[in-house]
Amino acid sequence: MGYALFTARKLSLTARVNSLNAQLMQIQNQKTQLTNRIANEQNMYNLQAASAQQQAASIFSSNVQGGMDYSQAMVQYQNSLAQSTMSSTQSNMQIAQLQSQDNMLDTQIGQLQTQLNASSQELESVKKAEESAIKNSTVKYVG
């Protein structure tokens, strides 16, 4: 194989490796942003759930101390907890959707890493083949 072919193949593989690295970096940046969104959503959910539970307990306590029948106060308390549970279910669905996107990005990262490894290995083998061809074509003087 001529040296020009080795050089052309090395340039092609180097461009492919660089392109795959750029794609990999872009997807990893997207994954980082998505992970931050998931963490923010979970923090907001936790804060809202704690606040709703505290508010429900406070209202229950106020109703009982205010003279409301205990069973009526308990029904109100359970209703407010049920509303909190519904909103937490919606939040959990949003978080699950974001986690699904995160899993898709993980799959894409895995595919790109596989392609990158294959291209890198091929580049190394082309470099070795070029070195071997250079050594074999070098004139040897016997003296």
Residue 141 maps to a domain: no
Q: What is the pLDDT of residue 33?
A: 96
User: Residue 120 is which amino acid?
Assistant: S
Residue 142 maps to a domain: no
What H or E segment, with its residue span, contains residue 112? helix 70-137
Residue 56 maps to a domain: yes
DSSP of 3-63: HHHHHHHHHHHHHHHHHHHHHHHHHHHHHHHHHHHHHHHHHHHHHHHHHHHHHHHHHHHHH
Q: What is the pLDDT of residue 143?
A: 63
Residue 48 maps to a domain: yes
Residue 26 maps to a domain: yes
Q: What is the pLDDT of residue 1?
A: 47
| Pairwise pLDDT comparison (109 vs 45), residue with the higher score | 109
- pLDDT tens digits for 35-51? 999 999 999 988 888 88
Neighbours of 13 (CB within 10 A): 19
Residue 89 maps to a domain: yes
Distance of CA 114 to the CA centre of its chain: 17
> Measured between alpha carbons, how far is 98 from 104 in angstroms, rounded to an integer?
10
Nearest to 34 by CA among 91, 106, 87: 106
Domain that holds residue 64: 3-135
Residue 69 maps to a domain: yes
In this prediction the pTM is 0.72
Looking at the structure of the chain, the number of domains it has is 1
Residue 23 maps to a domain: yes
The DSSP 8-state label assigned to residue 143 in this structure reads -
- pLDDT tens digits for 57-95? 888 888 888 888 888 888 888 888 888 888 888 888 999
